[in-house]
Structures are given as structure tokens and as C-alpha cells.
Structure 1
Amino acid sequence: MTADPVDPVDPVDQARRLAHARFPDALAAILTGSTAADRARALAEADLAKGRRRSPRRPSRPSATT
């Protein structure tokens, strides 16, 4: 009996680990495309979008007309 050449690791889990490794400070990572829709082929790429914390907003300045 020969070993199955297909990687048994879940592609969503692989994307999760990649996002955490590459962007450890991200608040969110969104997986899109065929991998997220469970239609990915063996060599499909994972489309990732990351979220990050915004810096605090500066108080707005009064307008010149007020």
C-alpha cells in the first residue's frame, strides 16, 4: 500500500496558520475565493484579507466657517 500524495491538512486550517504566522498582530483574517467556498483544486491559492487595529482618531478641527 502506498501513501496518499495529497496533503491531508485542511486548507482553511493552513490559511489560518499562515495568517497568524505572517500577521501576528492582525485582529482578523478573511479567507475568500474558491478555498473559502470549498471549491478549491489541489493547487489553488488562498486569498487572504487581513484586518488590523486602527490608530485612535484625532479630534476634528473646527471648520473655518464656524
Structure 2
Amino acid sequence: MLNMMTESPEYLTIQAAADVLNTNRRRIWQLVKDGQLQAIENPLDRRSKLILCGDVARFIKFANIKKP
């Protein structure tokens, strides 16, 4: 029998995404506004937003950002 449960995607907070990209929250919001990253509403706290880890990884690859 196939397991119908799938792993849920991993998300980062705006601050965590800023830390990964070695930038600040303002820059992350600008990337969201420009459509380079997509933010979704946090279902546990509607005041905050989340970004898919995969989106951040693709941005790093596309932008050729070097991790510190």
C-alpha cells in the first residue's frame, strides 16, 4: 500500500531568509515585492509571512550568491 502522507515543504520566516541570504528584512520584503521571492501567510500567526526554503535556494543559485 502506498503511503499517502507526503512531507510538508519547509518554510523560513522573513528574518531567517534574511539570515540565509546575509541581508536584512527590508531587502527580503523588496525581493517579495519585486516577485523574486514569494511569501505566504503563516497559518499559525497571520501577522507574519513565510518563504519556501526551496525558493531561497533557487534565488541563491540564480543570483550566484556565495554563503559566508
Higher relative contact order (CA 8 A, sep 6+): 2
Larger Cα-atom Rg: 1
Same fold (TM over 0.5): no
Question: Normalized against structure 2, the TM-score is what?
Answer: 0.27
- Give 1 or 2: higher helix fraction: 2
Q: What TM-score does the superposition give when structure 1 sets the normalisation length?
A: 0.27
